[in-house]
Amino acid sequence: MKNAVAVACFALNGLLAASAGAQQYPTRNITMLVPYAAGGPTDTVARVVAQAMTKPLGQSVIVENRPSAGGILAPEQVKNSKPDGYNILIHHIGMATTPALYRQLRFNPLSDFDYIGLINDVPMTVIARGNFPAKDFKEFLDYIKKNKDKVSYANAGIGAASHLCGMLFMSAIQTDVLTVPYKGTAPAMNDLLGGTVDFMCDQTTNTTAQIKGGKVKVFGVTSLKRVPS
Ligand code: ASP
| Residue among 59, 91, 60, 62 at smallest CA distance from 74 | 91
Which ligand 1 atom is nearest residue 185's CA? 7
- pLDDT value of position 24: 85
Question: Which residues form ligand 1's pocket by a CB distance below 6 Å?
Answer: 36-37, 40-43, 92, 156, 160-162, 184-186, 202-203
Which ligand 1 atom is nearest residue 157's CA? 4
Average pLDDT across the chain, whole number: 91
179: β partners: 153
DSSP secondary structure, 117-175, as one string: EEEEEEEEEEEEETT-S-SSHHHHHHHHHHTTTT-EEEESSTTSHHHHHHHHHHHHHT-
pLDDT of 13 strictly over 60: no
Across 86-104, average pLDDT:
93
| Residue among 145, 146, 140, 89 at smallest CA distance from 113 | 89
Contact yes or no for 40/186 (Cβ under 8 A): yes
Ligand 1 centroid–CA 54 distance in Å is 24
pLDDT tens digits along 105-160 = 999 999 999 999 999 899 999 999 999 999 999 999 999 999 999 999 999 999 99
- pLDDT value of position 70: 86
Q: C-alpha 210: how far from its chain's center? A: 17
- pLDDT value of position 9: 65
pLDDT category at 15 given cuts 50, 70, 90 is very low
Which ligand 1 atom is nearest residue 162's CA? 4
- Name the pTM for this structure: 0.91
d(CA 32, CA 76): 13
- pLDDT value of position 4: 56
Which ligand 1 atom is nearest residue 161's CA? 9
- pLDDT value of position 12: 58
d(CA 90, CA 215): 29
Question: Cα angle at 69 between 29 and 165, to 5 degrees?
Answer: 110
Name residue 13's amino acid: N
Ligand 1 centroid–CA 193 distance in Å is 16
Ligand 1 centroid–CA 156 distance in Å is 6
pLDDT of 10 strictly over 80: no
- Give the DSSP letter of residue 205: H
Ligand 1 centroid–CA 152 distance in Å is 17
Q: What are the residue ranges of helices labelled H in the chain?
A: 14-20, 41-57, 73-79, 94-101, 137-146, 161-173, 185-194, 204-212
d(CA 229, CA 215): 16
pLDDT category at 14 given cuts 50, 70, 90 is very low
pLDDT tens digits along 37-62 = 999 999 999 999 999 999 999 999 99
- pLDDT value of position 200: 98
pLDDT tens digits along 60-86 = 999 999 998 889 999 999 999 999 999
d(CA 184, CA 155): 7
Contact yes or no for 73/102 (Cβ under 8 A): no
Q: C-alpha 152: how far from its chain's center? A: 19
Ligand 1 centroid–CA 6 distance in Å is 10
- pLDDT value of position 187: 97
pLDDT tens digits along 155-190 = 999 999 999 999 999 999 999 999 999 999 999 999
- pLDDT value of position 6: 65
- SS3 state at 72: coil
